[in-house]
Structure 1
Amino acid sequence: MIVAHRGCWQKTSENSIDAIEACIDAGIDMVELDVRLTRDNVLVLMHDATVDRMTDGKGKVSDLDWAQLRKLHLREGKGGSTPLTDRRIPNFEEALRAAKDRILINLDPKSRLSPAMLAMVDKAGRRSQLLFKADAPAALLIEEGPWLRDVRFQPILRQPQIQADPTAAIAAYDPIHPVSYEIDVKERAFAPLVTPPIRERCARYWVNSLAGRAYDDKVALADPDSVWGQLIAIGVDAIQTDEPVALKAYLQRSHAATHHCEPRSTP
Structure 2
Amino acid sequence: MSCNNNCFMVGKEKYRDINSLLNKKINEKKVLIAVHRGSPGGNIIENTIPAYHNSLRLGGDMFEMDVIKSTDGILYTFHDGTERRNLKEEDNIKTMSSEKIDSLFYYNSIGAPSEFKVERFEDVVKEFNKGELYNIDRAWDIFPEVFEALNKYDYAIGQALFKSPVKKEILEFLEKNEKKYMYMPIVYSLEEIEEVLSYENINLVGLEIIAKDTECDLFNDDVLDRLKSKGLFLWVNAITLDKEIVLYGKLDDNISVIEGPENGWGKLFEKKIDIIQTDWPSLLKEYRDKYFNK
TM-score range, shorter chain: 0.7 to 0.9
User: 1:36·1:109 contact (CA, 8 Å) conserved in 2?
Assistant: yes
Q: Which among 133, 138, 141 is matched to residue 112 of structure 1?
A: 141
Counterpart of 2:156 (choices 126, 130, 141) is 126
**Letter of the structure 1 residue corresponding to residue 160 of structure 2:** L
Give TM-score scaled by structure 1 length.
0.84
After TM superposition, give the deviation of residue 47 of structure 1 in Å.
0.8
What does residue 28 of structure 2 align with? none
**Which amino acid in structure 2 is aligned with residue 123 of structure 1?**
K
Match runs of 1:48-87 below 5 Å: 48-49=80-81, 51-77=83-109, 82-87=111-116
Give the aligned residue type for 1:108: D
Q: After TM superposition, which residue ranges in structure 1, 4 or more long, deviate above 3 angstroms?
A: 165-175
Give the C-alpha shift of residue 98 in structure 1. Answer: 1.9
Q: Deviations over 1:142-171 (max 9, x none)?
A: 32332287110000002xxx16x5763563
Paired residues, number: 249
Residues 167 and 92 from structure 1, CA distance in 2 versus in 1: closer, same or farther, beyond 3 angstroms?
closer
Counterpart among 202, 211, 214 of residue 185 in structure 1: 211
Note if contact 1:156-1:184 (Cα within 8 Å) is conserved in structure 2: yes
- What's the offset of the Cα at 1:54? 1.1
**1:238 aligns to what?**
275
RMSD (Å), alpha carbons: 2.4
Structure 1 unaligned segments of length 5 or more: list them.
Answer: 258-267
Contact (CA 8 Å) 1:166, 1:194: kept in 2 or not? no
Q: Which secondary structure state, in structure 2, belongs to the residue aligned with residue 93 of structure 1? A: helix
> Which residue number corresponds to residue 7 of structure 1?
38
Percent sequence identity over matched residues?
A: 24
Question: Alignment partner for residue 103 of structure 1, among 118, 128, 132?
Answer: 132
| TM-score, normalised via structure 2 length | 0.77
What is the DSSP-based 3-state SS (H/G/I as helix, E as strand, rest coil) of the residue aligned with 1:54? helix
Q: Give 1:10's aligned amino acid.
A: G
**Aligned equivalent of 1:228:** 265
Name the SS for the 2:103 alignment partner: coil
Between the aligned partners of 2:229 and 2:179, the Cα distance in structure 1 is 19
Question: SS of 1:155's equivalent?
Answer: strand
Distance (whole Å) between structure 1 residues aligned to residue 124 and residue 86 of structure 2:
17
Change (3 A) 1:92 1:166: closer
